[in-house]
Structure 1
Amino acid sequence: MGTTEGAAVEIEVAGRAVRVSSPDRVIFEATDSTAAVTKLDVARYYAAVATLGGRPGESRPAAVAGGAPSDVGGLLRALWHRPTTLERWPRGVREGMVLATREGAGRGTRESPDAFYQKRVPSGAPGYVETATIAFPSGRTADEIAPTEPAVPVWAAHMGTIVFHPWPVRSGDVEHPDELRIDLDPQPGTDFADARRVAMVARDLLEEVGVRGFPKTSGNRGIHVFVRIEPRWTFTDVRHAAIAFGRELGRRTDGVTTAWWKEERGEAIFVDYNQNARDRTIASAYSIRPKPGAPVSTPVTWDELAELDDPRAFHVGTVPARLEPGGGPHGDGVDPWAEIDDVAHSLDPLLAWYERDEEEGLGDLPYPPEHPKMAGEPRRVQPSRARRPAD
């Protein structure tokens, strides 16, 4: 097996030589519309999107505290000083493979999963891999990688990483998020077109309160809208803001739900407010997703999104060209999210909506099942089970 996957190679990334083992290993098999993708292809992809897409001219510091300098590449901007969980698929992505949803689950046993989340810095990490200490809801802590240079994602690809899951905080302040994440998740009976329609209403709603959102495809059927916020609220506050936004979005257009339990959602776009809870993360901008064809979670402009019919057009083979000279929506190779660190917004308007809803009897919503019980949270019981008669 090792001989067919090739001897290790080194690729240069921003002045660093990064070793990539088993470069010929097929990570994504070919599809009718995409070529096979090897481990070396993944590493080269991450080298490209981590270095390309910065704004031209002299490097300038970000306008908001902790943000990436103006010339930083697209992927690195998304990960800049953020504690980041690695989603590792060391044997590649195949139909039927299992991703362990809890760190360490099944590893080292006969039922070892095919893929897993790496929340702690892998042993043997190079000296240039910076870290940040984060606290989980349980109170336990861990040191996670916090990328600050393009070689880090490439080294992670050598370790079998497919997806990067950054926290919405920076290493300088891990208790106060600087990012609100609006996850528009199509439920059965809906599709990308439905998510796109709702996203355009979300854009207008954000603009109504003076907030600029930055959209990206999820790499599947959904859409993510990220908002840079001032880092002065807790995870609980930001989650409440997401709940309030989702509820208000549902008042402005049909086909939107914030119902946590799947049996209550119906054919709608679910605003997954819990993606803003502590230790919940979303695949970063420019992350590959473990789906056939190696699709990419791709930043787009609002105008692009309005015209986008099939997000599968964005994959490992097409996305780097968007960040090269002459590429992208404006033909300048600049990342559509290049301005995300220019302004940090206040959550006050959304939190005012949350307070209004509370006064009208709409309180908190359930947390994920693995999260500790929180003050003010409703019963975490599936409605159909709660209604069952006693034996």
Structure 2
Amino acid sequence: MATKPAPVLLTVPGPHGDREVRLTSADRVVFPARGITKGEVVEYYRSVADPLLGVLRERPTNLKRYSHGVDEEPFYSKRLPKGAPEYVETAEVTFPSGRKAQSLCPTEPAVIVWAANMGTFDFHPWPVRRADPDHPDELRIDLDPQPGTDFADAKRVAAVLHEVLDEAGLVGWPKTSGGRGIHVFCRIRPEWDFIDVRHAVIAIARRVADRAPDDATVAWWKEERGERVFLDFNQAARDRTVASAWSVRGRPRATVSMPVTWETLPDVEPEDFDVRTVPGLLAERGDPHAGMDAAVGGLEAALEWYAADDRDRGPAEMPYPPDYPKMPGEPMRVQPSRARNKPDDAAS
């Protein structure tokens, strides 16, 4: 009977001195198509811990975990997993249901390495800091290519989004999603709640769709989207997260959600960035989003757009995700093809 390999102790420097983190099952292949092992993923996270911690620090963070590799179904840890070391800190979050939980709150590199050893491929931070978990300091826009579209379409829509963000007084920071999509984040002052931030995203997304109606859509119902890129405004709702920059994605190639600049975005492809290529790119080029924390904006213009849409175009509110409590002013959560006719319509 084969003996189980002994854990390896990794020394991880940090603000409170060195931490020793256990690495278990280092030789387990977790990306079979590339032969990438768990040990390689953990080593990847050691190499990008500094910029990743800049993304995650003080944020409640969900972990998307693959215990035995990419070929199995992942699961999310929205609460701090049991058995965490004493140096792993938490932040209290409130879910849409009103329930509260203690979520992982990364504060030092050893926390990232520990989470990677727990089978974490991607980190999903909330857009808030733990000192004020009800007021986001980050606005996020998810460009999600629909069937029939691809990364090239997302790049074309991202260029329009860049223009709209400039007009809103916001600085956007793009990154690849690790798949076919693009995520754009903006630092904002934490003066607005989740509802306001979501309304700002809806207003921004509408303007992108207005300017590029053949390429972009804000239609919540899939049957209405067509072959266009969906600007997913509901990723701005409370308890909705997207994979962070520098996160490994659960895809056969072990691609990474890579921060890029507006200047380089037209020339990149998602496959350019993976567990084996990104450490070298970071060492060579540095962090493309290093200036994000210094570029803080506000939502005044975007919320004025939302109010104008509500006044001039009819109700501006859009449906929330299906598991979300019914929200004030929200339209029916019934896809158009299944909506029942009103009684007077049926009689006419």
State TM-score, norm by structure 2.
0.94
CA distance in structure 1 between the aligned counterparts of 2:36 and 2:11, rounded to whole angstroms: 20
Q: Which moved more, 1:136-145 or 1:209-218?
A: 209-218
CA distance in structure 2 between the aligned counterparts of 1:120 and 1:209, rounded to whole angstroms: 35
Q: Is the aligned partner of 1:76 residue 2:53?
A: yes
Residue of structure 2 equivalent to 1:216: 175
- The secondary structure found in structure 2 opposite 1:352 is helix
Counterpart of 1:207, as a letter, is D
Residue of structure 1 equivalent to 2:158: 199
Cα displacement string for residues 205-237 of structure 1 (whole angstroms, at most 9, x for unaligned residues): 211232210000000000000000000100000
Q: Is the aligned partner of 1:27 residue 2:26?
A: no
Q: Which structure's residues are more often helix, by fraction?
A: 2
CA distance in structure 2 between the aligned counterparts of 1:312 and 1:257, rounded to whole angstroms: 26
The equivalent position to 1:287 in structure 2, one of 238, 243, 247, is 247
Counterpart of 1:17, as a letter, is E
Query: 1:287, CA displacement in angstroms?
Result: 0.5
Residue of structure 1 equivalent to 2:70: 93
Contact 1:29 1:293 in 2 (8 A): no
* Unaligned 5+ runs, structure 1: 51-72, 99-114, 329-333
Query: 1:253, CA displacement in angstroms?
Result: 1.8
Query: 1:251, CA displacement in angstroms?
Result: 1.4
Contact 1:2 1:22 in 2 (8 A): no
CA distance in structure 2 between the aligned counterparts of 1:169 and 1:145, rounded to whole angstroms: 13
Counterpart of 2:309, as a letter, is D
CA distance in structure 1 between the aligned counterparts of 2:183 and 2:169, rounded to whole angstroms: 19
Residue of structure 2 equivalent to 1:132: 91
Query: 1:26, CA displacement in angstroms?
Result: 0.8
Q: Is the aligned partner of 1:382 residue 2:335?
A: yes
Give the RMSD, CA atoms, in angstroms. 1.6
Counterpart of 2:58, as a letter, is H
Q: Does the C-alpha gap of structure 1 residues 161 and 2 become closer, same or farther in structure 2, counting only changes over 3 Å?
A: farther
Contact 1:216 1:224 in 2 (8 A): yes
Contact 1:241 1:354 in 2 (8 A): yes
Residue of structure 2 equivalent to 1:189: 148
> What is the count of residue pairs matched by the alignment?
338
The equivalent position to 1:357 in structure 2, one of 309, 334, 339, is 309
* Unaligned 5+ runs, structure 2: none
Contact 1:26 1:39 in 2 (8 A): yes
- The secondary structure found in structure 1 opposite 2:163 is helix
Contact 2:248 2:274 in 1 (8 A): yes
Q: Does the C-alpha gap of structure 1 residues 176 and 380 become closer, same or farther in structure 2, counting only changes over 3 Å?
A: same
- The secondary structure found in structure 2 opposite 1:18 is strand
Contact 1:178 1:228 in 2 (8 A): yes
Cα displacement string for residues 259-288 of structure 1 (whole angstroms, at most 9, x for unaligned residues): 111011111110000000000000001111
Contact 2:95 2:238 in 1 (8 A): yes
Contact 2:137 2:190 in 1 (8 A): yes
Cα displacement string for residues 8-47 of structure 1 (whole angstroms, at most 9, x for unaligned residues): 11112212211011111111113xxxx3111111111111
Query: 1:389, CA displacement in angstroms?
Result: 9.6
Counterpart of 1:354, as a letter, is Y
Q: Is the aligned partner of 1:265 residue 2:225?
A: yes
Q: Is the aligned partner of 1:336 residue 2:336?
A: no
CA distance in structure 1 between the aligned counterparts of 2:134 and 2:319, rounded to whole angstroms: 21
Residue of structure 1 equivalent to 2:205: 246
Identity between Structure 1 and Structure 2 (%)? 57
State TM-score, norm by structure 1.
0.84
